[in-house]
Structure 1
Amino acid sequence: MQSQSNGYTALHQAAWHGATLEVIGLLLSLGADCRIKTTDKGLTASNIATINHPERADLVYALTERRLTIAQLIRKVIASKPDLFDAYDGNQVLADRFIGSFGTDPCPEKADKLIKKIEASFRSLTGTYITSSKKVVFSPAKGYELQVDTKFWKSQFFPILSEFSAQSALTPIEKEWAVVSDLFDPAPEQFGLRGDLFLWMEMRQALCYVPVPENPSDLAGIIKSAFHALTGESLEKREDFCISRFARGGMSSGGIDCSFWIEKFIPMIEQRLNWLQSMWGH
């Protein structure tokens, strides 16, 4: 609720006074809206935090306006309904493919547009329209047959998805469904060499299934392993190199700066996880 005098909400007040992350996390979990602006100066809570507490990078991060991506929304649905899928359920395999397909696509404001995007992805991944009554069966290994049920998506999954999508701009990152790639947002303000941006994009996609670790220090090992898997090089060498698939504008465009990953990126996401854990601790 906004005050009548200047339009301040509880979130604005918390930003003004430099509240702890635990308090901010509680307010966000209760549905506080980072988008609301004051009526006197048109400031969001993040604006106020930046002005009053420029040293509080944690506060600005916590109050930055975000809208869940489609992949995050799907993960939230799955986490909220632990009995949604059966054992050896083809629907679960398809849900995982949706997560990988949509990556960082923002959730549309209207639920019908979201459903249409899912239906289009369903068609591209299964070769079948979701309105069809045809059975979708695939065998990932000999002796195992998995089935996708179109009725499940229409009558069970979509209603839950639509309900959650209505709150996608008010839903913070939650412990139950957070993955490492969630820590990549927002992107670093500056990358080392030109190839680092493209590697960052690939790594964000690759880590969209990896749950955030309990200990932020474990993130270093995860990033180093992903780095090696995607580049064939070790971060431990601390030597810059070039990735040919990124070098479309000349060799310099594919350059990778190892110091960026070791000295800037890894500490940044470790810090973000620390902040999120403080917000979850409410």
Structure 2
Amino acid sequence: MMSVNDKVLKLAFLGEWDTLLPVLRNYPHLINLPSEPKGYTPLHQAAWHGATLPVIGELLFLGADRSITTHSRRQTAYDIVIEKHKRPDLEYLLFPKKVTIAQIIRKVVLTEPQIFEVYDGNLILVDKLIAAFGVELRPDKIEELENRLHHLFFALTGQTINAEKMIKFDAAQGFSFDVNPAFFGQTFFPLICRTAQAEHNLVESEWATVSDLFEPSPTQWGLRGDLFLWLEMRQSLCQVSLPKDTDELADIISAAFQALTGKSLISRVGDNDFFVERFSRGGMSSGYVSSLYWLNEFIPQLQARLNWLQTAGL
């Protein structure tokens, strides 16, 4: 009788997803099971077959690791898609993105709501942590992540994580809140570190933000300043939840464009390219931003990414 391991590998090899996915739901620890001798996991096989977005989405949801490479050719699932298919949707979903510290914090907040109270000053400080970390990648070593958390706590509060007294601050006139260092040292930061150790992919829409649509960066740019605007926009939108539709996303990007450049995205004729001093880093077209390129290339690309995530069920 065929073992569950052998069944998973055979079904993945054949691309029989309707049969395989129920098995993996019952045995999620087999999601990254490699074949022998080539080392193809179910996600590698899905990339090879050019599987549908819902299939890819469920594999990722079950814990498929996009960073794993095959034994034979050292390929990720993303590498296989690049080689075998012209599928920008799969390229986006399978790109081996690294998890950010802010993503991990957002996940803990949304999966452990019981640790916070109503009008909780601790949660307000958590929001500040997310904004401060922005798109900073998770360190490889948990000890380094723990140090980053402790140092930022001190930077934002002026107190160490070992402070014995509650830290008071006024959010507005008549609204005073307490931050409990013990909560962060004994509960919240350990939760973040445990989550960081367990997570290879943070793809679920509940804790995704518009910023997550910006990775990976485009391979082509309009003008040199567009690169730096892209990076600033990614940072500034790290706390904006994913919208439900592409029109709302376009409105968000347009508003961020005007906030960061001082120019409307819908420019007057002959005023499509403009100069932003802080984006000037040398070279031809240095500091110049192309509003037409954002309208015709970047925004449609971001809208497509949102559609792909939604179709994949992520």
- Scaled by the length of structure 2, the TM-score of the pair is 0.84
Alignment of 1:34-49 (within 5 A): 34-49=66-81
Contact kept, 8 Å, 1:244 with 1:251, in 2: the verdict is no
Q: Distance in 1 between matches of 2:283 and 2:201?
A: 42
Contact kept, 8 Å, 1:58 with 1:275, in 2: the verdict is yes
Indicate which of 286, 296, 299 corresponds to 1:263: 296
Q: Distance in 2 between matches of 1:38 and 1:202?
A: 35
Aligned residue type for 1:51: E
Q: Distance in 1 between matches of 2:260 and 2:284?
A: 18
Q: Distance in 2 between matches of 1:258 and 1:115?
A: 41
Task: Name which of structure 1's ranges 23-32 and 263-272 shifts more when overlaid on structure 2.
Answer: 23-32
Whether 1:171 and 2:201 are equivalent positions in the alignment is: yes
Q: Give SS of 1:139's match.
A: strand
Indicate which of 210, 216, 226 corresponds to 1:186: 216
Across the aligned residues of Structure 1 and Structure 2, the Cα RMSD in angstroms comes to: 1.7
Whether 1:158 and 2:189 are equivalent positions in the alignment is: yes
Query: Please, which runs of 5 or more residues in structure 1 have no aligned partner?
Result: none
Q: Percent identity?
A: 48
Whether 1:99 and 2:147 are equivalent positions in the alignment is: no
The structure showing larger relative contact order (alpha-carbon pairs under 8 Å, at least 6 residues apart) is 1
Structure-2 residue corresponding to 1:52: 84
- Scaled by the length of structure 1, the TM-score of the pair is 0.93
State the Cα deviation string for residues 30-49 of structure 1 (Å, max 9, x = none): 11122222222222211111
State the Cα deviation string for residues 218-249 of structure 1 (Å, max 9, x = none): 21111111111222211111621112333364
Aligned residue type for 1:146: F
Contact kept, 8 Å, 1:126 with 1:136, in 2: the verdict is yes
Indicate which of 121, 146, 158 corresponds to 2:152: 121
Q: Distance in 2 between matches of 1:173 and 1:247?
A: 34
Structure-1 residue corresponding to 2:226: 196
Q: Give SS of 1:236's match.
A: coil
Structure-1 residue corresponding to 2:240: 210
Q: How many residues align?
A: 279
Contact kept, 8 Å, 1:247 with 1:254, in 2: the verdict is yes
Q: Give SS of 1:112's match.
A: helix
Contact kept, 8 Å, 1:192 with 1:260, in 2: the verdict is yes
Q: Distance in 2 between matches of 1:175 and 1:247?
A: 35
